[in-house]
């Protein structure tokens, strides 16, 4: 099943637009989780506690790469666990890669062939030609950075080119020039609901947005959903990482993560 259909199915099955980020910061793990596979054990507990509440999981590769070979193995084990036990839930790898086409081909192999993820984030800065190795995976989701959630995003993304801001031009190019396989999505940060509404008006209702930045980065759910939802009540993947997975640092971390995820899901659904 391709990413788009898989995401639609998981959203419908769990009645959820919530994506949980699997970002196991080793400095924040519960003290009881020790040993060589502590990242994986943490992830497994979070997945077991939340799999009926989410539309997707989003591991960020940085947290695993920092742990070297053992970290990469735990990322692979995490992806394999989701595919085996919850094959209906898509895995979106937060990767943000950007390089020349030859190099991107190997990034794509790592993500799609070795890890077996369903979607990845990429950086558009080098243009379509360089990103063809990603875009060519027609059954995978290619999530393009557009208007990101960090406070300094406007340094480049708000620059004006012939009367349009750069993020608007990125959105237009992705929607009209890159999306031949209908597998492109955009990253739009929750702290910027006006920009979110603008981009929705530009690209229409057929494109899904990955929306980080709710909570810890200042984004609020109601304006985000009002700005970005399609008429059918979808079109958004609302990501939460730290607020869910580190809601408790005690032995009850998975139970508390479930409570937090359930509350977020219910709040999101109030505005759909």
Q: Catalytic residue positions?
A: 96
Q: Is the Cβ–Cβ distance between 215 and 261 less than 8 Å? A: no
Measure the CA–CA gap between 238 and 55, rounded to whole angstroms: 9
Tell me if 177 sits within 8 A of 187, measured CB to CB: no
Burial of 211 (0-12, 13-18, 19+ CB in 10 A): buried
- The rounded Cα 173 to chain-centroid distance in angstroms is 20
Residue in 139, 134, 202 with CA at minimum distance from that of residue 172 = 202
- Residue 18 pairs in a beta bridge with 238
| Angle, vertex CA 55, rays to CA 178 and CA 40, nearest 5 | 100
| Closest by CA position to 254, among listed 89, 71, 43 | 43
- Minimal CA–CA distance to 65: which of 123, 115, 119? 115
**Contact, 86 vs 51, CB < 8 A?**
yes
- Tell me the C-alpha distance between 261 and 19, whole Å: 9
Token pair recorded at residue 95 = 């990767």
Distances (CA, A) of 109 to 7, 120, 133: 21, 12, 9
């Amino acid at each position: 099943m391709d990413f788009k259909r898989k995401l639609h199915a998981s959203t419908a099955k769990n009645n959820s637009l919530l994506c949980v980020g699997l970002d196991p910061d080793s400095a924040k793990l519960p003290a009881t989780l020790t040993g060589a596979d502590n990242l994986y054990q943490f992830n497994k507990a979070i997945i077991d506690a939340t799999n009926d509440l989410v539309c997707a999981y989003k591991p960020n590769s940085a947290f695993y790469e920092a742990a070297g070979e053992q970290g990469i193995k735990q990322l692979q084990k995490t992806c394999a666990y989701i595919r085996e036990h919850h094959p209906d839930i898509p895995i979106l790898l937060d990767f943000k890669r950007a390089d020349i086409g030859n190099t991107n081909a190997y990034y794509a192999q790592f993500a799609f062939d070795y890890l077996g993820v369903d979607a990845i984030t990429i950086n558009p800065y080098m243009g379509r030609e360089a990103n063809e190795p990603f875009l060519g995976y027609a059954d995978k989701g290619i999530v393009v950075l557009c208007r990101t959630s960090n406070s300094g995003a406007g340094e480049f993304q708000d620059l004006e080119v012939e009367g349009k801001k750069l993020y608007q031009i990125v959105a237009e190019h992705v929607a009209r020039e890159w999306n031949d396989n209908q597998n492109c999505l955009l990253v739009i940060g929750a702290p910027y609901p006006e920009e979110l509404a603008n981009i929705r008006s530009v690209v229409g209702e057929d494109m899904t947005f990955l929306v980080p930045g709710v909570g810890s980065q200042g984004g609020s759910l109601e304006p985000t959903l009002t700005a970005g939802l399609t008429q059918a009540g979808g079109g958004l993947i609302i990501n939460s990482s730290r607020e869910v997975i580190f809601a408790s640092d005690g032995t009850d971390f998975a139970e508390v993560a479930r409570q937090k995820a359930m509350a977020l899901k219910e709040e999101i659904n109030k505005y759909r």
